[in-house]
Amino acid sequence: MTSGAERPAQEPPPSRRRLLVSRATLGQWALYGGTLAVILFLAVAVDWARLQDKMFRTDLVVDQFPRIVTQAAKNTLIFTAFGFAGGLALGVVLALMRLSTFRPYRWFAAVYIDVIRGLPALLVLIFIAFGLPIALDIRIPGTYGRGSVALAIVSSAYIAEVVRAGIEAVPKGQTEAARSLGMSHGQALRRIVIPQAFRIIIPPMTNELVLLLKDTALISVIGVTEATKELTRFGRDGVNENANATPLVVAGLVYLALTLPMTRLAGYLERRARASR
Amino acid sequence: MTTKPGAVPAVHLVNVRKSFGRLEVLRGIDLQVAAGEKVCIIGASGSGKSTLLRCVNLLERPTSGRVLVEGIDVTAPDCDIDRVRARVGMVFQQFNLFPHLTVERNVTIAQETVLGRPHDLAVDTAMAMLRRVGLDEKRHEYPARLSGGQQQRVAIARALAMDPSVMLFDEATSALDPELVGEVLHVMRELADEGMTMLVVTHEMGFARRVADRVAFIDEGVILEESPPAELFESPREERTRRFLQRVLERDES
């Protein structure tokens, strides 16, 4: 503290400063102490051996492989890909309808989006799987088909809102410049506005993709065949066969292995988009 | 003001009115621009001069009145406005280059999609226009990497590549840093010297004085006074024109 004598004006009196520091340090130690107490409590109070026996039996973990990857994770990704492709196509159409000057289009899109977003995804899936065949005598062929269409319908409502926000974020001057060069409304949209909108919405769109990947778990409710089992169904079947929760825990870990890189990517893209502004 | 008898004016506005809700921005505009003529429109902000310009290529649709471009009534319901717009170049205050496309693609895209020019020809035309504004070396850059003055010159090249018969300039230098105004005005002056028909909304009185065949002073939605620049700047007929010029010139001197 020799510098204190040289620059007395810049630092608070030593006694008061020490008090401040110690108060802050005290708070820090309280947090560390609290955390440590919780960890100790968990270590002592939880019956780890029983927990591992019921939920993470090593032999059952090994048993899940390789089918949990080659079959279940593959099917989850297939449903995600089809669902997202369909949801994106439908979502763009809905977004354009919402922005249309033709009122019935706007109304239709608004009602569709409100209803789908206002219902639990599970209910929508059930309506599509069981209601549609009764109502319209339509049977979507194949389990992949049924599940993918249902997921596309659910995700399209969310994607439509993201796309609409993206289109509205493109400055009006862009459309005006395009139109002033003689481009039609459609050309301006296709070549100037939508490409820019998609750049803006890459981060929120990645989030939609993660949500959709997790929603594939709901497909197990409307029934899948042996060949199209996705992760959740695969895990639950494993639970039933072995009377042990380990397969579902492993399925959970595989989900994380798929979603974590995607959320990280979304975060990175978001930071980069913010930095470039 | 004199149009050769029988010749069709490049731009002809007949009693154009435009309201936004209750606000009447244009209150009966009559204006003719002959082929090859350069007309500058001056006036205070909010006087309606940008709206007037935007009515020419129907970025704003007039509430009433008629707008004719080379004799074609663009306000007619059956008018193919896209075809007319392709012949009317427009340069905006905010440049409005397409940020996701390179400089070259900015200049070729409408040539290909609107005029249906083959790619090679569109590129050749783009390069000729970029050379004209002194930016052919920037062809592979994205707009964000250019200065405001450079962006505006690319925007001019983009409009010129469509072989327009009229060029509209909407305060083309108002968003620029002062030291970049000169390069854009220089390009505009060259264009004028080459005989382009130009309708220019501007705050640059020096440019209007030197380049314009006629200057129109617009105030509260009407053209109050319209005469050759020497006349309008030296001996304005209207009191309001005089006061406006006084305000602008005081600003330029201070």
Chain B neighbors of A173, CB-CB under 8 A: 92, 94, 96
- Residue A85 to residue A117: CA distance in whole angstroms: 19
Minimal-distance CA residue of chain B relative to A172: B96
Minimal-distance CA residue of chain B relative to A198: B100
pLDDT (tens, 9 = 90+) of chain A, 277 residues, equals: 444 444 445 555 555 555 666 777 888 889 999 999 999 999 888 888 888 888 888 888 888 888 888 888 999 999 999 999 999 999 999 999 999 999 999 999 999 999 999 999 999 988 888 887 787 777 777 778 888 999 999 999 999 999 999 999 999 999 999 999 999 999 999 999 999 998 889 888 998 999 999 999 998 888 777 788 889 999 989 889 988 889 999 999 999 999 999 988 888 887 877 765 4
B113 touches A: beta carbon within 8 Å: yes
B86 touches A: beta carbon within 8 Å: yes
Chain B neighbors of A275, CB-CB under 8 A: none
Q: For chain B, first and last CA: distance in Å?
A: 34
Examine the pLDDT at B11 and tell me if it is beyond 50. Answer: yes
Compute the nearest-CA separation of B125 from chain A (Å): 15
Q: For chain A, first and last CA: distance in Å?
A: 45
Query: Do A196 and B100 count as a contact with CB atoms less than 8 A apart?
Result: yes
- The predicted pLDDT at position B25 comes to 95
Residue count of chain A? 277
Query: Do B90 and A196 count as a contact with CB atoms less than 8 A apart?
Result: no
- The predicted pLDDT at position A70 comes to 86
- The predicted pLDDT at position B50 comes to 94
Q: Which helix (H) or strand (E) holds B105?
A: helix B103-113
Query: Do B86 and A192 count as a contact with CB atoms less than 8 A apart?
Result: no
For B95-124, how does the pLDDT look when each residue is reduced to its tens digit (9 = 90+)?
999 999 999 999 999 999 999 999 999 999
Query: Do B100 and A195 count as a contact with CB atoms less than 8 A apart?
Result: yes
Strand boundaries in A119-270, DSSP class E: none
Lowest-pLDDT choice from A141-145, B45-49, B129-133: A141-145
B82 touches A: beta carbon within 8 Å: yes
Region B123-142: mean pLDDT is: 96
Q: Which helix (H) or strand (E) holds A240?
A: helix A231-242
**Ramachandran angles phi, psi of B19, nearest 5°:** -120, 145
Please indicate whether residue A12 or residue B136 has the higher confidence score (pLDDT). B136
Residue count of chain B? 254
Chain A neighbors of B159, CB-CB under 8 A: 180-181
Those residues whose C-beta lies under 8 Å from the C-beta of residue B156, and which sit 6 or more positions away, are B89, B91, B133, B172, B184, B187, B188, B191
Region B180-207: mean pLDDT is: 95
B114 touches A: beta carbon within 8 Å: yes
- The predicted pLDDT at position A4 comes to 43
Joined tokens for residue A99: 């922005």
Those residues whose C-beta lies under 8 Å from the C-beta of residue B53, and which sit 6 or more positions away, are B41, B90, B168, B169, B170, B199, B201
Lowest-pLDDT choice from A236-240, B171-175, B186-190: A236-240
Minimal-distance CA residue of chain A relative to B164: A181
- The predicted pLDDT at position A135 comes to 79
Name the DSSP class of B144.
Answer: G
Examine the pLDDT at B182 and tell me if it is beyond 90. Answer: yes
Query: Do B159 and A196 count as a contact with CB atoms less than 8 A apart?
Result: no
Chain B neighbors of A176, CB-CB under 8 A: 59, 92, 96
Q: What is the ipTM of this complex?
A: 0.93
Joined tokens for residue A121: 């995804």
- The predicted pLDDT at position B21 comes to 92
Query: Do B100 and A173 count as a contact with CB atoms less than 8 A apart?
Result: no
- The predicted pLDDT at position A102 comes to 93
Instruction: State the best of B93, B112, B113, B160 to mutate against chain A, taking most chain A CBs within 10 Å.
Output: B113
